[in-house]
Amino acid sequence: MTQELLTSVFGWMAGINLAVLLFSTLMVVLMQDWAAGIHSRMFQMDRADVKRTYFRYLANYKILVLIFSIVPWLALKLA
């Protein structure tokens, strides 16, 4: 694999993951009460716990995208 190919792969991967993160964030913000009601009934959890879990999911996903997609892409761009 060439450096250009790897840079392209990591760039596309970062873009797709950022789009998924943005979509997930918008859905959580816009439909939080509706989704929390459904998930609290599905998993027998309090709504506050479900909302905390949403926040934890978004935070963990953002960190993973940053570490495994954006940082390698930037390193390859700068190399």
Mapping DSSP onto H, E and C, the string for 10-57 reads HHHHHHHHHHHHHHHHHHHHHCHHHHHHHHHHHHCCCHHHHHHHHHHH
Reported as a single tens digit per residue, the pLDDT across 54-71 is 999 999 999 999 999 999
Q: Model confidence over 13-59: pLDDT tens digits?
A: 999 999 999 999 999 999 999 999 999 999 999 999 999 999 999 99
Size of the chain, expressed as the number of residues it contains: 79
Residues 1-15 have pLDDT tens digits of: 899 999 999 999 999
